[in-house]
Amino acid sequence: MRFAVSLLSILGIASVVGTVLKQNEPYENYIIKFGQFWFGLFEQLGLYDVYHSSWFLVILLFLIVSTSLCVYRNGPLMIKEWRTFKEHASEKSLNAFSHQATFDMTSGLNVTKQQLMQFLQAKGFQYKSVVHADGGELIAAKAGTHQRWGYIFTHTAMVIILLGGVLDGNLPFKVQEMLGHKRIETLDIPESQVPEASRLSTSNPSFRANMTLPEGTSDHVAFVRVRDGYLVQELPFTVALKDFRIEHYATGQPKSFESDLVIIDPDLKEPITKTISVNHPLLYKGIAIYQSDFQDGGTALDFNVWNLFAPDNQPQPLAGAIFGKGTLGEGDDALTVEYNDFRKFNIINMSPDGKGKPHNVGPNITYKLRDNKGQAIEYVTYMQPMQIDGKHYFVAGMRQTVQDEFRYLRIPIDDELSINGFMNFRAIMLDAAKYPEIARKIARNSLDVGKDPAVVKQFENSVVQLLTIFAQGGYSQVAQIIEKNVPEKEREVVASTYIKMVRVAAYEAYNMGLAANKKPLLVSDAKTEALLRDSLNSFSDMFFYGSPYFLQLEQFEHKEASGLQLTKSPGQKWVYLGSVLLVLGIFSMMYIRERRIWLLLKPDANQVLFAMASNRKNLDFEQEFNVYREQLKGLLT
């Protein structure tokens, strides 16, 4: 018994471990988190998959054995208690009861006996009477002894549930792994090359495996994730995905995920077609197929690639597909593009305080740019301009490692809602050949400069110089130069002059870009101010973008892949059976109250001895005893 409670506690604590430490993460995450030493130790202890570790299994087995033994030992006792009326109780033992009373018998023995039996019947007691040698008679009664089955039901139920659970666990694989027949595959190789030792045949009694099917494809294997590797589970049929759909609420949140599946099996005259969705799986040949998640299935992508630092402003087309690769640039500077993910809908809460409603900001794409040393930077780009603080921007984020947050480049849109305005502006700002013209324009429009050619020349030179510096690294470059060359006291004044001058230059540059494309020019107003401020910020941020390439998604052809989960769990019906038993057992244990009554009729003394007992002494019993005592008293006297 103490053992049982201890086991329950240990099971509880073991379970806690598995919830505190995130289970089944990729192993590198654990290494980063714990360091090599602790990582190794925790791995030995099986802490990354507690619920499938050997020691956890051992606890469960202990529980099964000890509970079985408990039922084996107490079960017969309980059945005996359930059956017996305990009609052999002696007067002496009845007298020793804590709940007893003696009444005078005013009627004859038989009449009294009749009355008492009616009483017991009315109260729902079953009874049995025995005549004693001295002429007395004992009526032994019981009610609610079905409670005793509660014990048997609950505890048998626990054994059945646990056995069912073990049946659905991966015990067969664990044994084969220990014997060296099977091992997990940790390499990312094509399924057909996975060796026999890492494959599970169709006769595997239970499994829980995953399958990712792009639209229009089919497969007859699924993957079982085990620790940091996987096993290939062969299926007795082929699953094909015709179509995958996501439906959305008006707010953009997903409403349903559905897959149109086709089951192809030589045993079938016709393939089965069925649509599955979350909460509505398909069952075939003992294998249940669930809609579990979805991902991209190789969406085709068309980009415009801008080289941010090249003064020519013609974007280059680039085509690719998710999970595919591409190349940007040439020679040693060439970068590999790895297209990782495409999302058609992105529900983001864009309000500054986070209290507004989330809404859909349209498609985005995640990709990595990898240099020839293998270093990669991850990027995310949104296809459509996003509204931030009332203005629209093209937004692209970058980060060096998965742990970092994305840092975003925000490029303001032009009047035609396109990126071209900024790109033209950027081209002119980078083109040293354009600086003298910008400088001349500023000088002409500026009242402060005056007409003295020498002063004008000097002014123009300083503008050209400033633009040259700005083109090398934006504001931060300018700040560095100031810090190097200007005494501390004057820095603020100089900086604000420079900023003002860059602003004015930007105005001219932007307009030159517009003029070259025969677009209407900017007018001096607050909106233009904001546009120029944003454009200059983007220009400055460009230098922190990590690569010269800005990929702008032009078009896509969406292809999705449905994430299916396939399970075979022969233990499930046992678990359910056990559950029903468990509920029955608990209710009978707690809501059926076992009570026993003995009525000893003593014709010699003309008395009736009333005794009552229960295996659970609680208040209900006290009350019931008091009521019965009063009622019997009324009945008999």
Which residues lie near another protein (CB under 8 A)?
Answer: 1, 4-5, 8-9, 11-12, 15-16, 18-20, 22-23, 50-51, 106-107, 115, 118-119, 122-123, 165, 168, 208, 249-251, 253-257, 277-281, 288, 290, 292, 355, 357, 565-567, 569, 572, 575-576, 579, 582-583, 586-587, 590-591, 616, 618-620, 631, 634-635
Which string of DSSP letters, residue by residue, matches 527-569? HHHHHHHHHHHHHHHHTTSSSSEEEEEEEEE--EEEEEEEEE-
Nearer Cβ to ligand HEM (66/340): 66
The distance of closest approach from Cβ of residue 366 to another protein in the complex, given in angstroms and rounded to an integer, is: 21
Nearer Cβ to another protein (51/323): 51
Q: What is the dihedral of CA 232, 234, 237, 243, to 10 degrees?
A: 0
Q: Which position has the token pair 């017996």?
A: 84
Under a CB-based contact definition with an 8 Å cutoff, are residues 223 and 233 in contact? yes
* Distant-in-sequence, close-in-space partners of 285: CB < 8 Å, separation ≥ 6: 236, 237, 265
The distance of closest approach from Cβ of residue 14 to another protein in the complex, given in angstroms and rounded to an integer, is: 10
Per-position x/- string for 535-574, each x denoting binding to ligand HEM as judged by CB under 6 A, each - no binding: ----------------------------------------
The distance of closest approach from Cβ of residue 560 to another protein in the complex, given in angstroms and rounded to an integer, is: 15
In angstroms, what is the C-alpha Rg of the chain? Answer: 41
The one-letter code for the residue type at 257 is F
Nearer Cβ to ligand HEM (181/617): 617
The distance of closest approach from Cβ of residue 607 to another protein in the complex, given in angstroms and rounded to an integer, is: 17
Per-position x/- string for 130-169, each x denoting binding to ligand HEM as judged by CB under 6 A, each - no binding: ---------------------x--xx--x-----------
The distance of closest approach from Cβ of residue 94 to ligand HEM in the complex, given in angstroms and rounded to an integer, is: 23
How many residues of this chain interact with ligand HEM, rule: CB under 6 A? 15
The distance of closest approach from Cβ of residue 573 to ligand HEM in the complex, given in angstroms and rounded to an integer, is: 20
Q: Residue 229, SS3?
A: strand
The distance of closest approach from Cβ of residue 581 to ligand HEM in the complex, given in angstroms and rounded to an integer, is: 12
305 binds ligand HEM (CB under 6 A): no
| Region binding ligand HEM by CB under 6 A among candidate stretches 522-530, 540-548, 584-592, 620-628 | 584-592
Nearer Cβ to ligand HEM (421/578): 578
Instruction: Identify what 412 binds: ligand HEM, another protein, none; CB under 5 to 8 Å per kind.
Output: none
Closest C-alpha to 611, from 77, 15, 138: 138
590 binds ligand HEM (CB under 6 A): yes
Distance (Å, rounded) from C-alpha 43 to C-alpha 29?
Answer: 13
* Distant-in-sequence, close-in-space partners of 287: CB < 8 Å, separation ≥ 6: 235, 236, 566, 567, 568
Q: Which neighbouring-strand residues pair with 447? A: none
Helix axes 2-20, 54-83, angle to 10 degrees: 140
Distance (Å, rounded) from C-alpha 463 to C-alpha 268?
Answer: 80
Distance (Å, rounded) from C-alpha 401 to C-alpha 378?
Answer: 7
Buried-state track 516-548, b at ≥16 Cβ within 10 A, e below 16: eeebeebeeeeebeebbebbbbbbbbbeebebb
Instruction: Identify what 255 binds: ligand HEM, another protein, none; CB under 5 to 8 Å per kind.
Output: another protein
The distance of closest approach from Cβ of residue 245 to ligand HEM in the complex, given in angstroms and rounded to an integer, is: 43
The distance of closest approach from Cβ of residue 1 to ligand HEM in the complex, given in angstroms and rounded to an integer, is: 4
586 binds ligand HEM (CB under 6 A): yes
Measured from each CB, the residue nearest to ligand HEM is: 70
- Residues numbered 69 to 98 that lie near ligand HEM (CB under 6 A) are 70, 74
**Distance from the Cα of residue 367 to its chain's centroid:** 23
Sign for the CA dihedral angle at 378, 383, 389, 392 comes to positive
| Region binding ligand HEM by CB under 6 A among candidate stretches 1-9, 93-101, 452-460, 549-557 | 1-9
Phi then psi for residue 185, to 5 deg, are -95, 130
Under a CB-based contact definition with an 8 Å cutoff, are residues 345 and 365 in contact? no
Instruction: Identify what 67 binds: ligand HEM, another protein, none; CB under 5 to 8 Å per kind.
Output: ligand HEM
Under a CB-based contact definition with an 8 Å cutoff, are residues 342 and 299 in contact? yes
592 binds ligand HEM (CB under 6 A): no
The distance of closest approach from Cβ of residue 610 to another protein in the complex, given in angstroms and rounded to an integer, is: 13
The distance of closest approach from Cβ of residue 269 to another protein in the complex, given in angstroms and rounded to an integer, is: 28
66 binds ligand HEM (CB under 6 A): yes
Under a CB-based contact definition with an 8 Å cutoff, are residues 522 and 406 in contact? no
What number of CA atoms fall less than 13 Å from residue 433's CA on the CB side?
A: 3
Nearer Cβ to another protein (29/579): 579
Instruction: Identify what 66 binds: another protein, ligand HEM, none; CB under 5 to 8 Å per kind.
Output: ligand HEM
Under a CB-based contact definition with an 8 Å cutoff, are residues 456 and 439 in contact? no
Cα 471 to Cα 192, 441, 542, 555: the distances in Å are: 54, 19, 11, 31
Nearer Cβ to ligand HEM (21/586): 586
Contacting residues toward ligand HEM, per CB under 6 A = 1, 4, 8, 63, 66-67, 70, 74, 151, 154-155, 158, 586, 589-590
